[in-house]
Structure 1
Amino acid sequence: MGYFVAATGFAALLLLLLTTYRQVNLQKSLLQLVCVSGAVWAGTTGLQLIYGYPLLFSLVTESLFNGILSLLLLGTIISAERLSEVIKHKLMILCGVIFLVATLEICRLLVPFLHQKVFFFAHLCQAIIGLWFIENLYRRSHRQELQAIKPICLGLGMIYGYNFALYADAFLTNVIAPSFWDGRGWIIATAIPLIVLTTRRLNRWASRVYVSRDVIYHSTLILVAGIYLLAMSIVSFFIKAAGVSWADTAQTIFFALSSLVLASLFLSSPLRRRLKVFIAKHFFANKYEYRQEWITFCASLEHHERSPYDNALAAMRGPFGCTAGLLASMKNGRLQAVSHDGCAAASPEATYLLEHLGLPAIEHDWIIDFEKLKAGYEVPPFSVEHDRLPAPAPFSVLVPVHSDGGFQGVFLLSRPTSTDTVDWEDRDLMHAIGSQLAVYLTMYEANQKLAESQQFDTFNRMSSFLVHDLKNVVAQLQLLSRNAARHKHNPEFIDDAFDTVESAVNRLNNVLSQLRSKRIDADSTQHIEIAPVIAQVCQTRSVQEPCPVFRDLTHEPIRLDANKERFENILNHLIQNAQDATDAQGQVDITLQVTGNHCQIDITDNGHGMSQDFIQHRLFKPFDTTKGNAGMGIGAYDAKNMIEQLGGHVTVQSAPEQGTRFVLAVPLSTRSPQKNPTILKE
C-alpha cells in the first residue's frame, strides 16, 4: 500500500510541476524526470508485491530513479545550466556507475549471468553514493539556501539511509527481509512532502505549487488531533498500568477531560485563525505576483497628467481591485481629502471615519477592516464606538500612511475584489505600499515647499540687485547735487548734469522693467573698450577720498565682449570698497595691462586689509556684508560671478593692515573692432 501512495505522490508532484512552471532550466527538467522515474519505481514495486513479479523489475526501476536523481543533485551542486556541463564533470563517473548497474540489471532480465547478491551490493553502493551527494549538496550550498535545501536533504537522506540498511541486510543474508521491503514504501511517501518544500523554496527549482488551504488546514487539524489523542492514550495507559483499584475510573475521566480540552481548542476561533495564518505563511505560494505588482506600482506613479495624490490613490487601489477610494492628508491638525475616485469627498461616512478613526489608526499604524470591526472579529489597540460606526458602504478598509516627520494621511478603500476577505497577506501588502507612498508623498510635499522657498529666494535676490542698482543711481544724483552749488553756472557741468540725469533715467527704467517682469533680465553683450570704461568709473568715484588713480599700461585699445553697464557696476563697487577700507590719505590704484591672452585689471589699496579666513568664507558669499544696513553684500559676489561667466577669474591678495589687491583676469575679445564707414564727399 505504501508504494502506491508514494507513486501517487510522485505523480501529483509531477502534475503540479507541469502546470505551474513558467520557465524551464536543467534542474527543473531533471526534477520532472525524477518524479516520472519515482512514480514508475514505486508503482512497479507495489505491483511486484501483489503479483509476485521478479524482484529484478523493481531493482531496474530503482536504479533508473537513483541515476536521474544523482544527475539532479550533481547539477544542483555545480549550478549547471546545461546537461553537457554535468556530463563533462568529473563526478559524472558516479552517476555513470548507477546507470551501468541499471544496464546490467536489464541484461540480467534477458540473460542470467550474475548472482543476485551482486545486485544487492550494487544497490548498497548506490545508497552510499546518494548519501555522499546529499552531504555535498548541503555542505556546498550557500548560507541563504540552507533553509531551502534542508527538507530534501532530510527526505532523500531518509530514503538512502533506509536503502543502506535494507541492502546491507540483504547482502549479508542473501535475501530481502519482507518487513524491510514493505515498510520502504511508506518511507518514500513520507519523503515526498519534504521534496515539495524544497521545490517551493529553492529558486532554481521554484514553482508556485498550490494545494488547497482547506485541505492542508483540515489535514493539519486531524494530524494534531491524532497526535494529541495518542499522547493522551499513552498517559491513560500508564494510569491503568498503575494497578490501583480506581485506575479504570481515572482512565475514563482523564480521557473524557482530554477530549473536552481538544474540543475546546478546536472550537477556539483565535487558535483556528492563527493556525490558518501559520499554514498560509509557511506552506503556500503567495497570493500576489509581487514582481508584477511592483512594476505596476512604479508605473502608476509616473502618470504626470495626474496629481501625485491621484497617483498614490491609484497605486493603493490597484493590487486589491477596489472600485472606490479616498486619500486624506493631515493638514492643520485634521484630515482633509486630497484625492478621491468613485466616491464623494465629503460624504458623511467619510467625514466620520476620518474624524474618529483616522488619527488613532495613524498613531497605532493599524489597518482597520470595518466589517470585521463591526462584527467584533477585530479588536484594535484603541477604543471604538461600535454602535456609531456608519454602514460599511462605500468603504471597507482604512489604511494609515505616515513617515517620520513627513506625510501623514489615510486611505479609505472600498471592498477589495481580489480576495474574499482581507487576510495577513493583504495587510502586509497594504503596509508595504503605504510605506512607499508615504516616502513618495513626503518627497512631493518637500519639493513643493522647496519650490516656494526658491521663489522667495529668487524674489529676494532680485530685490537685492535692484536695490544695489538704485544705490548707484542715488550715488550719481548725490554727486550731482553736491557739486551743483559750485559749478551750476559752468556750461560743461550743465552738460554733465544732463548726461548724469539721462543715465539715471535709463537705470530707473531698467529697474522698473525688471520689477514688472518679476525677473532680472539676461545681460546683453557688447563689444566694449576697457580703458575708457575704467577711466569713466574712476572719474565717477573721484567724489570720495582717496581719489582712485588709473594707469593704462597697454599700448593699444583692449576690447571685451561683456555687458557695459554691469561691467561698470562691478568696477564701481570694487573701487568703492577699496576707498571705504582706506583712509583719506591712503592710495587706491587701478592698473590695466595685458598678460598673454588675458587683460588684467588690478585694484590695489593700502587700507585695512582682510584675513584669509574672511576671504575664503565670507568675501564672495552673497548677502553677507560688514557694512551693516549700508551694504547689501552682493558686490563682490556679482563681480566674481560676472568675471567667471566671461571665462576669467578673480584673485584676492590681502592681509590685515597691509592693504588689498583685487586681480580681475578676463580673456581678450577675438573680434576685430568695427571701423566707422568712410563718407565720400564731392
Structure 2
Amino acid sequence: MSLLGVVGYGVAAVVWLILFLLLLTSWRGRLQGGLLVSAVLVTLLWALRAALYASTEVAAPDWLYQTLEIIRDVAWLGFLAALLEPLVCKVCTHHWGVWFWSVLIGYATALFVVDVQPLWGAEFNLPVDIGILGHIGLAIAGLVLIEQLFRNTRPQRRWATKFLYLGLGVLFVYDFFLYADALLFKRIDPVIWEARGLVNAISAPLIALAAARNPEWSMEVFVSRRVVLHSTTIFGAGIYLLAMAGAGYYIQTYGGAWGATLQLVFLTGAGVLLAALLFSGQVRARALVLMNKHFFNYKYDYREEWLKFIGTLSSGDPSEPPRERVIRAVAEIVHSTGGSLW
C-alpha cells in the first residue's frame, strides 16, 4: 500500500468533490457549463479510483482506473474545444464538432484497447510502448488547445480565463512529465505517480476561480471573500509552520551542543512572529486588497459591506456624535484607522 498515494489522491477526490457540488448547484443549462461539470465529475471518480488502487498491494494494471483516466482527458479536451470553437471557427457548421468528437473518441478507444490488452492475455509486439505514447499524445493535445485558447482570446478577456490555463496547464504538463519519464525508463515512476494526486488537487481551486469569472459558461459561482481569506490564512500558516519546523530540525541537527536550546528559542520566536502577523490589521488589509484585486470581479462584496455599514451606523455608543460614527463606518470599509468629514 502507498500511504502517500492514498492521501494524495484522497485529498484530490475531496477537493474535486467540493468543486463538483459547487458547479452542479450553479449550472444554468448551457453546453459549456455542462461539459465543465462532466469533466469535474470524471476527474473526481478518477481520483477516487486512484486512491483505492493505491491502497491495494496489486501491481497489475487496473482497467477501471485506466479507463477513467482516458475519459478524464477526453472530457477536458472536449471542454477546451467547446471554448475554442466560437473563437476560431466563425463560419463552421456542426460538422466540425462531429469530426472533432469522432477523432477524439476513436483515439481514446484505440488507447483503451492498448492499455487493457494485457488483461486479455494478449501482447502487441511493438518496438515502443504505444500506450505511453498515447497518453503523451493526450497531454500534448491538451497543451495545444490551451495555447490556442490563450492566443485567440482577446487580451482584455485573458484576466477571466488565466486561471483555467494555469489549472489545466498544471494537469496536462504533469501528465506529460509522468509519461515521458515512463517512456524513457520503461516503467511508471511510483514517486511521480504518488505525487500526481496532490498536483491534481492544486488545479481544482484555479478552475473554480475561472468558473466564477466566466458567467457566460452558465456558471454563477459565488466564492465568499471571508472563506477565501480564512482558507488562505490557514494554508499560509501551515506552510509557514512546516518551513519553521524544517529550519528548527536543521538547527537541532547541526547546532552541536547548543542545538536543542537554539531550536526552542527559534521555534518560540517563529510562533510569536506568526501570532503577530495573524493579529495584524495592516497585514489583513493588504491581504484583502491583494485578494480583491487578483481573484474577484468586484473590489467589494457589496451586500456584506452595506450590511456592515448599516450596522455601524445603528449601533455604538449613544454619546458618539453622528458625524464621527459616519466617518468610522466609512473608514471601516476601506480598513482605515481614521478620516475626516467636511
Normalised-by-shorter TM-score class: 0.7 to 0.9
Residue of 365, 368, 376 corresponding to 2:327: 368
Shift of 1:369: 4.4
Shift of 1:159: 2.0
- 1:149 equivalenced with 2:174 (yes/no): no
1:227-626 equivalences under 5 Å are 227-233=239-245, 235-236=247-248, 243=255, 246=258, 248-276=260-288, 278-279=290-291, 282-283=294-295, 287=301, 353=322, 368-370=327-329, 379-382=337-340
Deviations 1:404-446 (A, max 9, x none): xxxxxxxxxxxxxxxxxxxxxxxxxxxxxxxxxxxxxxxxxxx
Q: More relative contact order in 1 or in 2 (CA 8 Å, sep 6+)?
A: 2
- 1:14 equivalenced with 2:20 (yes/no): yes
Given that 2:13 and 2:44 are in contact with CA atoms closer than 8 Å, whether structure 1 keeps it comes out as: yes
- 1:48 equivalenced with 2:60 (yes/no): no
Partners of 1:273 and 1:281 in 2: CA distance = 12
Given that 1:73 and 1:133 are in contact with CA atoms closer than 8 Å, whether structure 2 keeps it comes out as: yes
Residues 122 and 240 of structure 1: is their aligned pair in 2 closer, same or farther, counting only changes over 3 Å? same
Given that 1:209 and 1:284 are in contact with CA atoms closer than 8 Å, whether structure 2 keeps it comes out as: no
Instruction: Point out where structure 1 has 5 or more consecutive residues left out of the alignment.
Output: 290-318, 324-348, 362-366, 384-399, 401-682
Residue of 55, 69, 74 corresponding to 1:62: 69
Given that 2:114 and 2:130 are in contact with CA atoms closer than 8 Å, whether structure 1 keeps it comes out as: no
Residues 182 and 110 of structure 1: is their aligned pair in 2 closer, same or farther, counting only changes over 3 Å? closer
Partners of 2:85 and 2:37 in 1: CA distance = 19
For residue 55 of structure 2, give the secondary structure of its aligned residue in structure 1.
Answer: helix
Match of 2:97 in 1: 87
Shift of 1:211: 4.5
Shift of 1:72: 1.1
Residues 105 and 266 of structure 1: is their aligned pair in 2 closer, same or farther, counting only changes over 3 Å? same
Partners of 2:204 and 2:182 in 1: CA distance = 25
Residue of 108, 111, 121 corresponding to 1:99: 108
Deviations 1:170-202 (A, max 9, x none): 334443222222221111111111111211123
Runs (4+) of structure 1 exceeding 6 A deviation are 80-83, 319-323
- 1:39 equivalenced with 2:47 (yes/no): no
- 1:25 equivalenced with 2:37 (yes/no): no
Residues 258 and 10 of structure 1: is their aligned pair in 2 closer, same or farther, counting only changes over 3 Å? closer
Shift of 1:66: 0.9
Partners of 1:223 and 1:262 in 2: CA distance = 13
Amino acid at match of 2:171: I
Shift of 1:71: 1.2
Residues 9 and 227 of structure 1: is their aligned pair in 2 closer, same or farther, counting only changes over 3 Å? closer
Shift of 1:243: 4.8
Given that 1:71 and 1:86 are in contact with CA atoms closer than 8 Å, whether structure 2 keeps it comes out as: no
Deviations 1:586-618 (A, max 9, x none): xxxxxxxxxxxxxxxxxxxxxxxxxxxxxxxxx
Partners of 1:279 and 1:30 in 2: CA distance = 28
Shift of 1:26: 2.2
Deviations 1:113-134 (A, max 9, x none): 4549332221122222222222
TM-score by length of 2: 0.74
Deviations 1:257-308 (A, max 9, x none): 222122122222343354356546654576459xxxxxxxxxxxxxxxxxxx
Residues 371 and 123 of structure 1: is their aligned pair in 2 closer, same or farther, counting only changes over 3 Å? closer
Residues 79 and 380 of structure 1: is their aligned pair in 2 closer, same or farther, counting only changes over 3 Å? same
Partners of 1:138 and 1:112 in 2: CA distance = 44
After superposition, the CA RMSD in angstroms is 3.9
Match of 2:9 in 1: 3
Amino acid at match of 1:25: R
Given that 1:74 and 1:86 are in contact with CA atoms closer than 8 Å, whether structure 2 keeps it comes out as: no
Partners of 1:85 and 1:196 in 2: CA distance = 31
Amino acid at match of 1:10: W
For residue 217 of structure 2, give the secondary structure of its aligned residue in structure 1.
Answer: coil
Higher strand share: 1
For residue 159 of structure 1, give the secondary structure of its aligned residue in structure 2.
Answer: helix
Amino acid at match of 1:368: I
Residues 44 and 130 of structure 1: is their aligned pair in 2 closer, same or farther, counting only changes over 3 Å? same
Shift of 1:212: 5.1
Amino acid at match of 1:45: A
Residues 122 and 267 of structure 1: is their aligned pair in 2 closer, same or farther, counting only changes over 3 Å? same
Partners of 1:83 and 1:193 in 2: CA distance = 34
Given that 1:20 and 1:208 are in contact with CA atoms closer than 8 Å, whether structure 2 keeps it comes out as: yes
Q: 205-214 or 24-33: which moved more?
A: 205-214
Instruction: Point out where structure 2 has 5 or more consecutive residues left out of the alignment.
Output: 1-6, 311-317
Given that 2:252 and 2:260 are in contact with CA atoms closer than 8 Å, whether structure 1 keeps it comes out as: yes
Residues 112 and 271 of structure 1: is their aligned pair in 2 closer, same or farther, counting only changes over 3 Å? same
Deviations 1:566-604 (A, max 9, x none): xxxxxxxxxxxxxxxxxxxxxxxxxxxxxxxxxxxxxxx
Partners of 1:141 and 1:372 in 2: CA distance = 39
- 1:189 equivalenced with 2:148 (yes/no): no
Bigger Rg over Cα: 1
Given that 1:123 and 1:167 are in contact with CA atoms closer than 8 Å, whether structure 2 keeps it comes out as: yes
Residues 12 and 232 of structure 1: is their aligned pair in 2 closer, same or farther, counting only changes over 3 Å? closer
For residue 204 of structure 1, give the secondary structure of its aligned residue in structure 2.
Answer: helix
Shift of 1:60: 1.3
Question: Percent same amino acid at aligned positions?
Answer: 30
Partners of 2:328 and 2:297 in 1: CA distance = 24
Amino acid at match of 2:73: N
Given that 1:2 and 1:182 are in contact with CA atoms closer than 8 Å, whether structure 2 keeps it comes out as: yes
Partners of 2:118 and 2:70 in 1: CA distance = 14
Amino acid at match of 1:178: P
Aligned length: 313
Given that 1:209 and 1:285 are in contact with CA atoms closer than 8 Å, whether structure 2 keeps it comes out as: no
For residue 136 of structure 1, give the secondary structure of its aligned residue in structure 2.
Answer: helix
Match of 2:83 in 1: 76
Match of 2:131 in 1: 119
Shift of 1:143: 0.5
Match of 2:315 in 1: none
Shift of 1:38: 1.0
Residue of 199, 204, 222 corresponding to 1:210: 222
For residue 78 of structure 1, give the secondary structure of its aligned residue in structure 2.
Answer: helix
